[in-house]
Chain A
Amino acid sequence: MSLLDMTAVELAAAIKAGKTTAVEATKEVLAQIEAKEQLYHCYVTLDKEAALAQAEAVQAKIEAGELTGPLAGVPVAIKDNMCTEGMLTTCSSKILGNFVPTFSAEAVLNLQKAGAIILGKTNMDEFAMGSTTETSAYGETKNPWNPEHVPGGSSGGSAAAVAAEECFYALGSDTGGSIRQPASFCGVVGMKPTYGTVSRYGLIAYGSSLDQIGPLAKDVTDCATILEVIASHDTKDSTSVERQDTDFTKALVEDVKGMRIGIPNDYFGEGLDEEVKSAVLQAAKVLGEKGAIIEYFDLSLVDYAIPTYYTIAAAEASSNLERFDGIKYGYRTEDYAGLHNMYKKSRSEGFGEEVKRRIMLGSFVLSSGYYDAYYLKALRVKALIKKAFDEAFAKYDVILGPVAPTTAPKLGESLADPIQMYLGDIYTIAVNLAGLPGISLPCGKDSKGLPIGLQLIGDCFQEKKLIQTAYTYEKARGEFPMAAKEVC
């Protein structure tokens, strides 16, 4: 078995047992990047020398017994919207094309303390605004299952890097599905934890009330292990939640007897691809055979989640992105006449189309005269959506459905019609509005050979039920090899 085929947990165990070293693993993954990166373009920034230097330092600490954790010595890729001290952090935007942070995101620091080796920064939709990774200012990432298709987004580089074995695992961020949807399109496992579980300190904000960092990995065990490492209470993030139950790996138990699983009828209506539908329902059947109680129910309000989300996310984005002004960091225009013209020109030249579209919409819905009708209205509907989930979780432990209505679309097919692209977020977006945890894992392939994702949604703070259900399904399903093994 090649080192590259190992999961993160398997690799750390092999390093610990002296069967290989962090340096050896880093060299292998760098060689894989060398061979595949030109085709897939998963990364915006790579620092091979720094990765090897980290690997040597980490290996020494492992041998000295100072690093003993389940991820020690494993190379990781970080989405390019998380600050990394001394390493370029662009958010895949021209406006941050030269930004080198002076500090690292808390989630990245937590990984480094656990002995992670940072390979580089992965490509994404600009400022995480998009569902295909095509809005990146640095070119598109290709889906390793078929390079004519998108990897999904916005964490498309992270998902593709895991699938192409250009890293052992990756961090992503999820504002409306940006971890779960690319995980689904690339045939990997991705998890968005409960809002507040992972510190947002050092995550460049898009929609602050919705953003969460989470893992993209080869299997459920890796996912639970990574989440356990990155979850922490952080006083530098005022919405960070103090939790005692972050020992997520305890939930890696193969048992769903009596687990109440609800399937929303409204997730299986118009627009859902037949092959996706049948693969997801087959997964539900597998869980039923393992002893879970499967029931159908009406979640309600599903069609209202997307307009609610785009109102709130655009409003928060317009406020968050005000900081990019050409003064403190990032791009400044060459020619300008006075301060305000400098702001306007720097921002107009530095931001891409989708980002500008959302900033303008956000500015509009927050402007006086429209604030009540649009922004407050959306916050009221958000309360109704949260209530609908509360009622569902009074009856069920887990909600099961698809991640996205289709498998990965072809490159170039999505951006022409933004609203059509937004509709692809229909099953993931409400989870962010309600602050819930969700996991996406592979449950089959369509006739084109593209992966299909199964989504499990839990009540707030119930990650363990999700992990247990996902783990049990994964065991029953059997191995789902990475794209690198199947098609590359």
Chain B
Amino acid sequence: MANIISDETIEYVGILAKLELSDEQKEQAKKDMGRMLDYIDKLGELDTEGVEPMSHVFPVQNVFREDVITNSDTREELLVNAPEEKDGMFMVPRTFE
């Protein structure tokens, strides 16, 4: 395997991805990601010098509209799906100590 994923890297990816992994899961993730990157490295065979990265296949332009409210107030309905709510707001754990 050409790509060896270090403990630091998988720790960092866990922070970016907001995922908590057990030690066993970390080992598996290191192996899986290493294999996948080995496979993706195949793209290195292609010379892409001077090729523009293509985000959209069609020429797209910014879509503008007037800043006018078209939807109605659905706060009550939306809050029904919230795991926790209080006084018409989403309830989150304490953010500052």
Contacts and interface: CB of A to CB of B under 8 A. Distances in A.
The reply to whether chain A is a binding partner of chain B is: yes
Interface of A: 98-100, 102, 195-196, 209, 235, 238-239, 241, 301, 303-304, 306-308, 310-311, 318, 322, 325-332, 336, 338-345, 347-348, 351, 356-357, 359-367, 374, 376-384, 386, 418-419, 433-435, 460
A342 B93 contact: yes
A356 B19 CA distance: 8
B32 to A, nearest CB: 6
Contacts of A307: 39-43
B33 interface: yes
A209 B48 contact: no
B52 interface: yes
Size range of the chain B interface in the assembly: 35 or more
Given A307-B42, A310-B40, A322-B18, A376 B53 contact: yes
Interface in B31-60: 32-33, 35-37, 39-46, 48, 51-58, 60
A91 to B, nearest CB: 14
A223 B37 CA distance: 38
Contact of B93 (A338, A360, A433): A338
B51 A384 contact: yes
B20 A367 contact: no
Contacts of B92: 327, 339, 342
B77 to A, nearest CB: 5
Given A419-B36, A435-B57, A360 B19 contact: yes
Contacts of B12: 367
B42 A304 contact: yes
B86 interface: no
A235 B63 contact: yes
Contacts of A384: 46, 48, 51
A contact face: mostly helix, strand, loop, or mixed: helix
B58 to A, nearest CB: 7
Given A339-B93, A380-B52, A419-B35, A100 B80 contact: yes
B16 interface: yes
Nearest to B48: A380
Interface of B: 9, 12-14, 16-21, 29, 32-33, 35-37, 39-46, 48, 51-58, 60, 63, 65, 74, 77-78, 80-84, 90, 92-95
Nearest to B36: A361
A241 B81 contact: no
A379 B36 contact: no
A239 B78 CA distance: 26
Nearest to B81: A329
A451 to B, nearest CB: 30
B31 to A, nearest CB: 11
Contacts of B83: 326-327, 329-332
Contacts of A365: 40
A325 to B, nearest CB: 8
Given A326-B83, A347-B19, A356-B29, 15 more contacts: A100-B80, A102-B77, A195-B57, A209-B55, A238-B63, A304-B42, A307-B40, A308-B43, A328-B82, A339-B95, A348-B19, A360-B33, A361-B36, A363-B17, A364-B33
B9 to A, nearest CB: 8
Contacts of B32: 357, 418
Nearest to A423: B39
Contacts of A342: 92-93
B35 to A, nearest CB: 6
B38 to A, nearest CB: 9
Given A304-B46, A338-B93, A380 B51 contact: yes
Given A307-B42, A378-B43, A381-B46, A344 B20 contact: yes
Of the candidates A344, A380, A418, A434, the one having the most CB atoms from chain B within 10 angstroms of its own CB is A380
A339 B9 CA distance: 23
Of the candidates B17, B41, B60, B93, the one having the most CB atoms from chain A within 10 angstroms of its own CB is B17
